[in-house]
Amino acid sequence: MQGEEGTEWLLELLTDVQLQQYLLRIRDELNVTRLSHFDYVKNEDLEKIGMGRPGQRRLWEAVKRRRALYKRKSWMIPWY
């Protein structure tokens, strides 16, 4: 997922929480192209792109779920 080309994962994440209208602003203004980039995003940044508090909460919950999902999957990847 982190190495995935493009930002399809981001669109999927935003669509899951009905925030797909923020795709371009999150990608271009906040420079988020990997899940790990959300480590550097603050609520103030999301406010600056026009996202309200309820949307921010939904986004952070979705990011948390996505991280947990990929942590679970990562142990199954063989390291040769």
Quick one: pLDDT band at residue 7, thresholds 50, 70, 90?
Answer: confident
| Burial bucket for residue 74 (CB in 10 Å: 0-12, 13-18, 19+) | exposed
pLDDT of amino acid 73: 65
Which residues, in sequence order, are CB contacts of 6 under 8 Å at separation 6+? Answer: none
CB 19 within 8 A of CB 54: no
pLDDT of amino acid 77: 59
Which residue in the block uniquely carries the two structure tokens 């508090």? Answer: 53
Which residue ranges make up each domain of the chain?
7-75
pLDDT by residue (tens digit) across 26-69? 999 999 999 999 999 999 999 999 999 999 999 999 999 999 98
